[in-house]
């Protein structure tokens, strides 16, 4: 595999060298002209404005133009541009992992370990992130626990979306993208001042594309809009109000079959409706061989938020109230059978904080309140083995108080300290009704509270005006919760906690034309929440949640940008990651009720060590059922899920000045990843072997604001798998108890197109 990476790196290097040689042949030398310095990138991840080069956060920043060039229009696209980040879709739910920290859950009780925020507002539902990646100033990806400033459910990091703010200058843009798979996308924005104190900005994006799976799945059909108003009556007061609407109406996400022992389709992008002749006998579709092309994905999001900033003299007072209403309705065959769900979420949050960005002391302190009411109704059909319905309301209340400060001991040495107290109150009601394999009703009720104190400490030291060394330690947590289909007290799990130590350096050399940022990190993971397939008291199979004991993660990251001339830019970002479960042992039931249906019940399908079955017959919840045994599964020593050892990107961009005819821009980049397990089953067919994907673009920019860009992504047609899960019944229905059947999410094959853009 390493030879493959080196060969690809050589190919990219040759392409870069050839392009640079061509540029030198066509562009006169500019020895007397100063080299173009690398521009400063300003972020607000610490609740104040600062340059990335003066920040001790482990952060990757993508500007709005870079996002557009990379084709990032939704959360799943972020995984193509940020090393260490994997985003996949389970039905309509985004599953986000940073360095192996994430969530495999796909129901209404799913909460991401990576906190998504837009304009400072936390987005609770992984399904509510959706196609909101338009008209953005930038995206900040924070790696590692962010418990002090971001609180609950940021144990692995945070992803901040910062939308463009209204200005009093009249500006706008229109971009039209056309590509293969009948892709059509229109993005437009316009803004300006209405009065001396009031400015507006409106943005809209329409996105439609045929599915790249053979039966139309993995398509896009969405429209999203954002309207912002900025009122500044005087220099001391600023009020930003933002309304947002998202409408997704697509066929939805589906998975492809991977197996080493059973027939698989010849086409890696073959969808589930190939039917029983191509995928025997894995897709338990109601009606037997009925074509499974009736899936759909409908998501509606309505949101309203505000940010009030008031200069009170000694500090700035900030108040952020927000409301977000999410409705999700989808039918998917992602797990290999029929699964339809309808969910709603109403969330409101309020953050009040004071902060001051002084020369010696920079500080922020605040209070936070979060309230969410949810409903969940889903139906699972895998006849003749299983059929069940879950109807579960969920209620969450969260409170927090926090503060963080940076104090300059000298002109070159600063110390950092932060603390946050959080409390989550969760309640679940409703029931699970099993039809097959037997009639049963389970009460899903439960109520639990979770408390946590997170902290951050460290120092920053300026070696020179352009070099900074930092060492930080930080903690974060993800609240515990509930899952359906199992009665209390066994239907809940504990909170998880992560402690991270980071040593890093920010550097600029050669008159700020070379930027080299380095990081080494060591993480300790306690009580990691992990989902697994297991039997329920109703005799069904479902996704259950356990706490996986301890895990250790460590690695290093390098981020390099070099501008040898005003016309050339080279970029390299690479990350090494080692992960290991120090302790991950859980028990599963082996229900005898399946034996009359399947005639046998082979051992649990897992790549982990299996313990000896222990006889078990007690069942206080459903007396009609009995279990043959319980069995322990020991995954200690395995790597974490979706945590490849090597990830990275490399790219080169060259511009050519055309006197009186604008500028030509050529860019080429590659993304690579080593192998990774896609689910906590650790089976061979659930392991991606790694990949190298090549992308390129060629653009012509005119001085009047018009540009034309030809682009291609995944030019080598790599089969890139981002997630998935073991087929729930593969151990029972495959010949010989085959444990290798896996349904995987796959990225798009080769795509290409043209973008026409007008800025004014």
pLDDT of 454: 97
What are the Cα distances from residue 737, in Å, to 216, 259, 335, 437?
32, 13, 18, 19
Strands 550-565 and 568-581: antiparallel
Q: Give the Cβ contact number of residue 83 at 10 Å.
A: 25
Using CA atoms, how far apart are residues 369 and 62, in angstroms rounded to an integer? 29
pLDDT of 735: 39
Contact 633, 549 (CB under 8 A): no
Bridge partners of 102?
A: 97
Burial 11-26 (b: 16+ CB within 10 A, else e): ebeebbeebbeebeee
Tell me which H or E stretch contains 121.
strand 121-123
pLDDT of 261: 65
pTM above 0.75, yes or no: yes
Bridge partners of 568?
A: 565, 654
Bridge partners of 143?
A: 157
Contact 374, 395 (CB under 8 A): yes
Contact 149, 47 (CB under 8 A): yes
List, in order of start, the domains of the chain with CATH numbers: 2-759 (2.40.170.20)
For residue 729, give the 3-state DSSP assignment: coil
Using CA atoms, how far apart are residues 532 and 546, in angstroms rounded to an integer? 8
Name the one residue in this structure whose structure tokens are 């859980």: 586
Mean pLDDT of each 10-residue bin along the chain, 760 residues long: 44 40 40 69 93 95 90 90 90 89 81 94 89 94 95 93 96 97 97 97 97 92 97 98 97 85 78 57 44 85 98 97 96 85 96 96 98 95 84 96 98 98 96 87 93 98 97 96 86 95 97 97 95 78 87 97 96 97 86 43 71 65 53 92 97 94 96 95 90 97 95 96 84 47 92 97
pLDDT of 739: 55
Q: How many helices (H) and strands (E) does the chain have?
A: 5, 48
User: Is the CA virtual torsion 282, 284, 289, 291 positive or negative?
Assistant: negative
Q: Give the Cβ contact number of residue 663 at 10 Å.
A: 15
pLDDT of 616: 60
Strands 721-726 and 237-250: unpaired
């Amino acid at each position: 595999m390493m030879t493959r990476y080196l060969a690809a790196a050589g190919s990219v290097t040759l392409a870069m060298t050839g392009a640079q040689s061509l540029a030198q042949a066509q562009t006169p030398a500019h020895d007397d002209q100063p080299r173009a310095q690398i521009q400063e990138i300003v972020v607000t991840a610490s609740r104040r404005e600062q340059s990335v080069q003066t920040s001790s956060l482990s952060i990757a920043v993508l500007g709005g133009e870079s996002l557009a060039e990379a084709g990032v229009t939704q959360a799943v696209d972020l995984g193509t541009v940020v090393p260490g980040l994997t985003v996949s879709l389970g039905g309509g739910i985004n599953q986000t992992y940073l360095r192996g920290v994430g969530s495999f859950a796909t129901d209404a009780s799913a909460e991401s370990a990576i906190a998504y925020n837009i304009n400072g507002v936390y987005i609770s539902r992984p399904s509510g992130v959706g196609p909101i990646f338009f008209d953005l100033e930038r995206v900040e990806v924070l790696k590692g626990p962010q418990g002090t400033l971001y609180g609950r459910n940021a144990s692995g990091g945070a992803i901040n979306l910062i939308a463009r703010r209204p200005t009093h200058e009249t500006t706008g843009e229109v971009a039209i993208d056309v590509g293969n798979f009948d892709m059509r996308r229109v993005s437009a924005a316009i803004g300006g001042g209405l009065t001396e104190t009031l400015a507006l900005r409106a943005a809209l994006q329409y996105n439609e594309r045929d599915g790249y799976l053979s039966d139309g799945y993995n398509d896009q059909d969405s429209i999203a809009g954002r309207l912002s108003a900025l009122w500044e009556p005087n220099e001391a007061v600023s009020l930003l109000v933002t309304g947002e609407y998202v409408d997704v109406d697509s066929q939805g996400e589906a998975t492809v079959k991977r197996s080493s022992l059973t027939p698989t389709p010849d086409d890696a992008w073959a969808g589930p409706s190939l039917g029983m002749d191509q995928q025997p006998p894995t897709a338990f579709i109601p009606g037997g061989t009925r074509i499974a092309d009736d899936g759909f994905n409908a998501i509606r999001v309505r949101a309203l938020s505000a940010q009030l900033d008031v200069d009170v003299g000694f500090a700035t007072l900030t108040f952020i109230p927000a409301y977000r209403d999410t409705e999700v309705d989808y039918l998917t065959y992602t797990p290999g059978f029929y699964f339809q769900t309808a969910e709603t979420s109403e969330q409101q949050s309020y953050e009040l904080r004071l902060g001051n960005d002084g020369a010696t002391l920079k500080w922020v302190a605040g209070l936070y309140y979060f309230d969410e009411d949810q409903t969940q109704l889903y139906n699972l059909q895998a006849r003749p083995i299983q059929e069940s319905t879950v109807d579960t309301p969920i209620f969450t209340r969260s409170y927090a108080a926090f503060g963080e400060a940076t104090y300059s001991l000298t002109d070159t040495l600063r110390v950092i300290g932060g603390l946050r107290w959080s409390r989550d109150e969760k309640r679940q009601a409703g029931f699970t009704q099993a039809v097959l394999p037997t009639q049963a009703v389970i009460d899903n009720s439960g109520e639990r509270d979770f408390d946590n104190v997170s902290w951050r400490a460290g120092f920053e030291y300026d070696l020179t005006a352009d070099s900074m060394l930092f060492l930080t330690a930080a903690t974060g947590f993800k609240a515990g919760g509930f899952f359906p289909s199992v009665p209390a007290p066994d239907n809940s799990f504990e909170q998880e906690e992560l402690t991270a130590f980071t040593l890093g350096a920010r550097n600029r050399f050669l008159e700020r034309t070379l930027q080299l940022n380095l990081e080494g990190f060591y993480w300790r993971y306690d009580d990691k929440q992990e989902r697994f397939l297991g039997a329920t008291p109703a005799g069904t199979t479902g996704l259950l949640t356990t706490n996986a004991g301890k895990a250790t993660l460590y690695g290093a990251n390098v981020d390099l940008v070099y501008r040898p001339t005003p016309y050339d830019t080279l970029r390299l970002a690479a990350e090494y990651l080692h992960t290991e479960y120090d302790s991950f042992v859980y028990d599963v039931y082996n229900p005898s009720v399946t034996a009359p249906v399947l005639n046998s019940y082979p051992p649990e399908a897992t790549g982990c060590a299996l313990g000896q079955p222990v006889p078990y017959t007690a069942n206080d919840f459903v007396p009609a059922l009995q279990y043959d045994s319980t069995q322990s599964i020991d995954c200690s020593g395995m790597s974490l899920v979706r945590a490849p050892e090597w990830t990275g990107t490399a790219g080169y961009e060259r511009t050519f000045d055309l006197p009186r005819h604008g500028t030509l821009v050529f860019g080429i980049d590659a993304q690579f990843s080593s192998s990774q397990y896609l689910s906590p089953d650790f089976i061979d067919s659930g392991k991606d072997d790694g990949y190298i994907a090549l992308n390129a673009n060629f653009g012509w920019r005119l001085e009047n604001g018009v540009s034309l860009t030809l682009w291609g992504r995944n030019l080598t047609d790599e089969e890139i798998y981002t997630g998935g899960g073991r087929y729930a019944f593969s151990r029972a229905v495959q010949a010989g108890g085959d444990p290798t059947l896996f349904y995987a999410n796959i990225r798009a094959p080769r795509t290409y197109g043209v973008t026409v853009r007008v800025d004014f």
